[in-house]
Amino acid sequence: MMPYSFDPAPLQYHALAPNFSLEAASGQTVTRSQFRNRHGLTLLFLQPTPEAIALLEQIGQDEAEYLELNARVIGIIRVEREALAALAARLNPFIMLLADPEGTAWKAYTGTDRTGFAIFILDMYGGVDSQQVTASLGALPDAVEILEWMRATQYRCNI
């Protein structure tokens, strides 16, 4: 059986990213729009695998630079909110985990119900600056490249 593929860039570049309303591990409701005009966002759509958690742990090591860039990292995971508590306890508190149990945010961003992995870098205005959607976590950029994408996005917002 051949693996399925995704449109690697399903959203229009520089267009406003879809809003979402999801629950954080803490129980609070978080929306994409609450960050608009305040912070750049790194949105990571992940499955709760050890490799995905390792990627978030690596990203968390760069907390100081993300904060200096005025950027936030959000992991959106297709699980019930109650399942996020154990995952969140393993991560740097800087990384916010959101539950997307029905995949509504996933579908809004990727246009599909098929399970996969994705990264979307949004500028501080909520515009899509970088994106990649794939069936394999290994095809996503690593923590170093993700930080480089965010640096470039924030630089473009400030010139």
Q: What is the pLDDT of residues 90-149, one digit of tens each?
A: 898 999 999 999 999 999 999 999 999 999 999 999 999 999 999 999 999 999 999 999
Q: Per the CATH hierarchy, to which homologous superfamily does domain 21-158 belong?
A: Glutaredoxin (3.40.30.10)
Report whether pLDDT(17) > 80: yes
Q: At 159, is the pLDDT very low, low, confident or very high (cuts 50, 70, 90)?
A: low
pLDDT in tens, 59-86: 999 999 999 999 999 999 999 999 998 8
Can you tell me the distance from the alpha carbon of 103 to that of 116, in angstroms, rounded to the nearest whole number?
Answer: 11
Can you tell me the distance from the alpha carbon of 85 to that of 61, in angstroms, rounded to the nearest whole number?
Answer: 20
CB 54 within 8 A of CB 92: no
Report whether pLDDT(1) > 50: no
Nearest residue to 116 via CA among 58, 59, 60, 77: 77
User: Which pLDDT belongs to residue 86?
Assistant: 87
User: Which pLDDT belongs to residue 65?
Assistant: 96
Q: What is the pTM of this model?
A: 0.94
pLDDT in tens, 44-56: 999 999 999 999 9
Can you tell me the distance from the alpha carbon of 13 to that of 148, in angstroms, rounded to the nearest whole number?
Answer: 18
